[in-house]
């Protein structure tokens, strides 16, 4: 199986994209309606967050039936129409497979609770809990009915971890993937897939809340090879990506190396923790540029040298908007949005755009705690209060960090509810929708810059295939890298700050051609000045020179 490195993925959170029924919840028909918009943007694949039957405790990541459509989002006929219509627009679908856990309302768990031994072995049951901490707070074990046993839930109490050591479980889960393949789906995003191989002996571990006991265990690689062989490995084309929680480079190389036959590519999150105080999410800290640069360089370089492949992204449904985190949005929203885009779209890996990013959407800036609905945020707020924070302090943290930030309705126009729904949206719209919306932005600098980036990746093999080389590693304000392909060279300079900075350009690039910038044309010379949040990509067709960008 091979995947096409020229492709760009667009992520849609179906619940918030476009509501066609007026129930306040986005739906599959809403996505069909917006396919021409997506074609205009130029994306090749759309990744849809879960739309399966689910009690929605974790917005669909708590699945109670893997092979059906939640009526809130439409019907199977709508889905089939979506696959067909997308194809007509040159777009493929990527579905979210949540195979590490299922909802406690799933019939497997219900049968297990009712005493069925066969299904009890689908879950991870123990007489005594370990000290592992759930990723949504509290202990990761909960009483299993009145049996005196405990079941493992690495996430919410309603998300029971599945026992991958049981071959019957693996068989059932492979059937799920094959069901969607039979509907014509060739793209899959595997949720927290590096957590499926819990250690055989489940022990207490004080380090990192117990994570080493169940993260990136060698057996996870074995299961992925098995999954690949039994399902998508049989497809000629397609695309698979694994979400890797708390991972490292050697494991990610292994997950994504073509010879491993596991996955095409991996998401890691280290670069989105550079504004965490002591690695803790629920804190406030300006981002650490040195750390960000170092992470991009080490991951970029090592994945390139060892032939791993990364999914490149700034935003998704679990992250506050990158613009709010990394950019002076009051003065430089457009420059910042385009610079951030170039910093990943011109890099080595597959770029992912999260809905709204292409128009520079921002966090909603809610005024009160009652606007937030996400289970993780609500738990975190309580924990912050318990730990001694005042209500105002705790609220400020939720405002900056909540996953609801990115889940707000897509801003289509300046009419009520941002043109998302005629009913009451399940989550309140953001404050900026009257100015920042598709209608206003589609011919503006951000959207057109994204179109350009997508086109360039398709037109230039150096962008899709070139190796990654870090550049100007010691520059205090600029994140820069080179791409190499044969004799071709591409230098990408990204000023991450709201002030001008100087760069000494090596001779070979002084005669290069400016491929792209988010500021008007400039002349190349020995010394150049980058404007606030400027990105500048310089292409050299035949470098011939060994000049290094220090």
Please report the DSSP string for 114-133 in residue order: TT-HHHHTTB-EESS--SPB
Instruction: Tell me whether residue 223 or residue 267 sits nearer to ligand GLC (CB atom).
Output: 267
Q: What is the side-by-side strand order in the sheet with 265-267? A: 265-267, 239-243, 187-190, 92-97, 45-48, 9-12, 350-354, 311-312
Catalytic residue among 58, 161, 191, 275: 191
Residues 229-258 that bind ligand GLC (CB under 6 A): 243
* CA nearest neighbour of 542 among 462, 484, 467, 488: 488
Instruction: Determine contact, residues 358/314, Cβ cutoff 8 Å.
Output: no
* CA atoms of 122 and 109, how far apart (whole Å): 8
- In whole angstroms, the minimum distance from the beta carbon of 352 to ligand GLC comes to 12
56: left (phi over 0), alpha (psi -120 to 50) or beta: left
Instruction: Tell me whether residue 309 or residue 354 sits nearer to ligand GLC (CB atom).
Output: 354
Which class for 183: exposed (0-12), middle (13-18), buried (19 or more C-beta within 10 A)?
middle
- In whole angstroms, the minimum distance from the beta carbon of 398 to ligand GLC comes to 16
- In whole angstroms, the minimum distance from the beta carbon of 214 to ligand GLC comes to 14
* CA atoms of 53 and 70, how far apart (whole Å): 4
Q: What is the per-residue binding string for ligand GLC in 436-465, x denoting contact by CB under 6 A?
A: ------------------------------
Instruction: Determine contact, residues 419/412, Cβ cutoff 8 Å.
Output: yes
Catalytic residue among 243, 262, 358, 374: 243
* CA atoms of 180 and 291, how far apart (whole Å): 40
Identify the three-state secondary structure at position 140.
Answer: coil
Contact pick of 65, 121, 302, 318 for ligand GLC (by CB under 6 A): 318
Instruction: Tell me whether residue 317 or residue 428 sits nearer to ligand GLC (CB atom).
Output: 317
Strands (E), 398-534: 467-471, 478-485, 488-495, 501-504, 513-517, 527-530
Instruction: Tell me whether residue 82 or residue 244 sits nearer to ligand GLC (CB atom).
Output: 244
- In whole angstroms, the minimum distance from the beta carbon of 62 to ligand GLC comes to 7
- In whole angstroms, the minimum distance from the beta carbon of 488 to ligand GLC comes to 36
Q: Is 98 in the site for ligand GLC (CB under 6 A)?
A: yes
Contact pick of 3, 47, 108, 155 for ligand GLC (by CB under 6 A): 155
- In whole angstroms, the minimum distance from the beta carbon of 123 to ligand GLC comes to 16
Compute the half-sphere exposure of residue 188: CA atoms within 13 Å on the CB side of its CA: 30
Strands (E), 250-341: 265-267, 311-312
Q: How many residues bind ligand GLC (CB under 6 A)?
A: 9
Identify the three-state secondary structure at position 337.
Answer: helix
Instruction: Tell me whether residue 243 or residue 441 sits nearer to ligand GLC (CB atom).
Output: 243
Instruction: Tell me whether residue 48 or residue 446 sits nearer to ligand GLC (CB atom).
Output: 48
Q: Is 58 in the site for ligand GLC (CB under 6 A)?
A: yes
Q: Is 358 in the site for ligand GLC (CB under 6 A)?
A: no
The sign of the CA dihedral 432, 438, 444, 446 is positive
Instruction: Tell me whether residue 350 or residue 494 sits nearer to ligand GLC (CB atom).
Output: 350
Contact pick of 38, 97, 192, 220 for ligand GLC (by CB under 6 A): 192
Q: How many residues does the chain have?
A: 550
Annotated active-site residue 243? The verdict is yes
Q: Is 191 in the site for ligand GLC (CB under 6 A)?
A: yes
**b (16+ CB within 10 A) / e for 115-138:** eeeebbebbbbeeebbebebbbbe
- In whole angstroms, the minimum distance from the beta carbon of 191 to ligand GLC comes to 5
* CA atoms of 299 and 158, how far apart (whole Å): 35
- In whole angstroms, the minimum distance from the beta carbon of 502 to ligand GLC comes to 41
* CA atoms of 395 and 382, how far apart (whole Å): 10
- Cβ contacts of 319 within 8 Å, gap of 6 or more: 272, 403, 405, 406
* CA atoms of 83 and 93, how far apart (whole Å): 7
Instruction: Tell me whether residue 96 or residue 213 sits nearer to ligand GLC (CB atom).
Output: 96
Instruction: Tell me whether residue 32 or residue 241 sits nearer to ligand GLC (CB atom).
Output: 241
Task: Determine the residue with CB nearest ligand GLC.
Answer: 61
The sign of the CA dihedral 60, 450, 531, 549 is positive
- In whole angstroms, the minimum distance from the beta carbon of 98 to ligand GLC comes to 5
Residues 255-284 that bind ligand GLC (CB under 6 A): none
- In whole angstroms, the minimum distance from the beta carbon of 455 to ligand GLC comes to 29
Instruction: Tell me whether residue 193 or residue 505 sits nearer to ligand GLC (CB atom).
Output: 193
- In whole angstroms, the minimum distance from the beta carbon of 127 to ligand GLC comes to 26
* CA nearest neighbour of 344 among 524, 177, 535, 212: 535
Q: Is 105 in the site for ligand GLC (CB under 6 A)?
A: no
Instruction: Tell me whether residue 190 or residue 287 sits nearer to ligand GLC (CB atom).
Output: 190
Q: What is the per-residue binding string for ligand GLC in 378-417, x denoting contact by CB under 6 A?
A: ----------------------------------------
Annotated active-site residue 209? The verdict is no
Integer distance in angstroms from the first to the last C-alpha of the chain?
A: 38
Residue 136 backbone phi and psi in degrees, to 5: -105, 20
Contact pick of 61, 109, 267, 366 for ligand GLC (by CB under 6 A): 61
Instruction: Determine contact, residues 223/197, Cβ cutoff 8 Å.
Output: yes
Q: Which residues are catalytically annotated?
A: 191, 243
* Interface ranges with ligand GLC (CB under 6 A): 58, 61, 98, 155, 191-192, 243, 317-318
């Amino acid at each position: 199986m091979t995947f096409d490195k020229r492709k760009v993925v667009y992520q849609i959170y179906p619940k918030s994209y476009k509501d066609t029924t007026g129930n306040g919840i986005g739906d599959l028909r809403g996505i069909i309606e917006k396919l021409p918009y997506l074609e205009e943007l130029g994306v090749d694949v759309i990744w849809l967050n879960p739309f399966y039957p689910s009690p929605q405790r974790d917005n669909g990541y708590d699945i109670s039936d893997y092979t059906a459509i939640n009526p809130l989002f439409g019907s199977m006929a709508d889905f089939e129409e979506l696959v067909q219509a997308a194809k007509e627009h040159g777009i493929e679908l990527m579905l979210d497979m949540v195979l590490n856990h299922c909802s406690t309302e799933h019939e497997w768990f219900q049968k297990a609770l009712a005493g069925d031994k066969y299904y009890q072995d689908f879950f991870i049951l123990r007489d005594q809990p370990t000290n592992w901490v759930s990723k949504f707070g509290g202990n990761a074990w909960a009483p299993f009915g009145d049996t005196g046993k405990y079941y493992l839930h690495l996430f919410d109490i309603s998300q029971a971890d599945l026992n991958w050591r049981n071959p019957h479980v693996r068989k059932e889960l492979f059937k799920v993937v094959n069901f969607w393949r039979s509907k014509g789906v060739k793209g899959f995003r595997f949720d927290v897939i590096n957590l499926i191989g819990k250690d055989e002996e489940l022990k207490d571990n004080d380090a990192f809340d117990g994570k080493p006991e169940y993260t990136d265990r060698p057996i996870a690689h074995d299961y992925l090879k098995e999954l690949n062989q039994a399902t998508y490995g049989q497809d000629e084309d397609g695309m698979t990506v694994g979400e890797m929680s708390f991972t490292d480079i050697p494991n990610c190389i292994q997950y994504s190396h073509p010879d491993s036959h596991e996955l095409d590519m991996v998401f890691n999150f280290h670069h989105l923790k550079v504004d965490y105080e002591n690695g803790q999410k629920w804190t406030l800290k300006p981002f650490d540029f040195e750390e960000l640069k170092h992470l991009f360089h080490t991951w970029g370089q090592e994945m390139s040298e060892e032939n791993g492949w990364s999914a490149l992204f700034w935003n998704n449904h679990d992250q506050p908007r990158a613009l709010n985190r990394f950019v002076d949005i009051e003065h430089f929203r457009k420059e910042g949005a385009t610079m951030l885009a170039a910093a990943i779209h011109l890099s080595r890996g597959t770029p992912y755009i999260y809905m709204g990013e292409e128009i520079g959407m921002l966090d909603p800036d809610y005024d009160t705690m009652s606007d937030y609905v996400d289970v993780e945020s609500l738990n975190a707020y309580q924990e912050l209060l318990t730990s001694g924070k005042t209500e105002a302090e705790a609220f400020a943290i939720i405002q900056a960090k909540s996953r609801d930030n990115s889940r707000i309705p897509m801003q289509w126009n300046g009419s009520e509810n941002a043109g998302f729904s005629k009913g009451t949206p399940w989550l309140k719209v953001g404050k900026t929708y009257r100015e920042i919306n598709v209608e206003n932005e589609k011919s503006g600098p951000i959207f057109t810059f994204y179109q350009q980036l997508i086109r360039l990746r398709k037109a230039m093999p150096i962008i899709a295939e070139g190796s990654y080389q870090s550049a100007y590693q010691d520059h205090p304000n600029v994140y820069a890298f080179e791409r190499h392909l044969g004799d071709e060279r591409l230098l990408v300079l990204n000023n991450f700050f709201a002030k001008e900075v100087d760069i000494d350009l090596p001779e070979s690039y002084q005669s290069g051609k400016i491929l792209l910038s988010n500021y008007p044309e400039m002349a190349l010379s020995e010394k150049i000045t980058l404007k606030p949040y400027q990105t500048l990509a310089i292409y050299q067709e035949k470098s011939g020179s060994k000049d290094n960008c220090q």
